[in-house]
Structure 1
Amino acid sequence: MVRVPRDLGVPETGVASFECELSRPNAEVKWFKDGQELRPGPNCRIYSAGRRRILQLSSCELADAGSYTCDAGDCRASATLHVQERQVHIMQELQDVKVQEGDNAVFTCEVSHGDVKGEWFRDGEKIKVSSTVKIRQEGTRHFLLFCGVRPEDEGLIRFTARTVTSEASLQVEALPIRIVKPLRDKTVLARHKATLECTVSHARGRVRWLRGDTEIFAGDKYEICNLDCYRTLIIHRVGPEDEDSYTCDAFDDRSTARLLVEGEWALEGHH
């Protein structure tokens, strides 16, 4: 070889050209990186110009750093490529978002370089794309979209790209729970069970049950069921003493119905 390749330092995404010059114009050469033969590709050009043999790497990545060898069969020469990592900066920080339950929430963060991948986290856990969560990148801007947020979506949102991070909070204002199908007055036979049921606007809706103004709890007498949006009170073995008004209280809304008991109990005193 008349001239051997030189060590190079290039910035990330830069172009690196290794060149060697041979004494014979028609000699074949092979190029290796860390012992692995290189093949031409989108970012790797291998060509000849007279007695010069050139390896050109475009859009250099950090992984391209290493030792490159030009092998002409009877002689070989190596040089080292250093790739300097770019410093990525946050140009626009995330902003806190406060929305009402059911609305959409969008987070936007802008970084200094357009070809940098980012990741999103909520309370330290990586966010995955789903039917209600979208992640998008447009140049230097990164977007996170929550569709139809729920109260449990609340948390600390973090965007990271390389070594930089930006954080903001997602706050969700829960919609008041409404009773969409109220209780209905019930007449039942003594010694049977009475079922009072209403429907609330959201499966997470908490309710309490009242007899008159007094809260009642599940036990031998009362069975309380919460299934999806249905809220049910079952009163076992009803007697005349159970006649009263019963209320399902959803805190922002309530529904009241009367329970009437008829039948055998009226005759019991005559046995």
Structure 2
Amino acid sequence: MSWRMLLILNKIEESVEALKVSPSSTFSTFRLALPITFKQELKNQEVEEGNSATLRCELSKAGVQVEWWKGDVGEELLKSGEKYQMRQTATKVELVIRKAVPEDSGVYWCIFLFSALPVTFKQTLRNQETVEGNSITLRCELSKPGASVKWWKGQEVLSLGEKYYMKTEGRIAEMIVRNVVFEDAGSYSCSIGDQKTTSEIKVRGRSLYYWDSFFYQVNFFLNIRYTIWPFVFRHCF
């Protein structure tokens, strides 16, 4: 949504120029109901050469980012500096054109910007369990590619290094925890903006893991012995 005004510089006398503002008009390239509107529109003004002109309007909501443009179709984006000063207080925005000269004549636009949709998590982290000495990969998927994420353990922000390897390719964000030890167990999170996904990581001792594996195999063969062999003897002998 934008608001435009036409600044016309007319000659009053040989050494004095006047800055006149024609009636303003609005236009929009959007064909939907907009949640933000102009409560106060730009007004006609007149200023002498060498003085400053202040363009002022008011929005229906505070904290909205605006841009000021110059040109028949808004081809020049104005920047705050020696010539232009931009001010914004709550819903009120202003553009001050300092030391007006004939070249300042033209069409000026005030345009407010729509915030992009926030990035969210399409696929969240999942809880995992691993054995000490191994590496573990935490993975989540974002709704948009190229977003910057942060990785956490509890309340601590993690950094790329020997222990942690982080990468984001497209919409997939990953962190690898290398050479896992018991102290690596805990809550890990990936955040973007105010969005966060969390997983719990459990670490088992390698010796305990092997004993569990051993007893599982023993139990497996015992089950075979007491279930398969009676069947074999009954039908084959």
Structure that is richer in strand per residue = 1
Q: Which has the larger radius of gyration?
A: 1
* Higher relative contact order, chain-length normalized (CA < 8 Å, sep 6+): 2
TM-score, normalising length: structure 1: 0.42
Point out the structure with the larger helix share.
Answer: 2
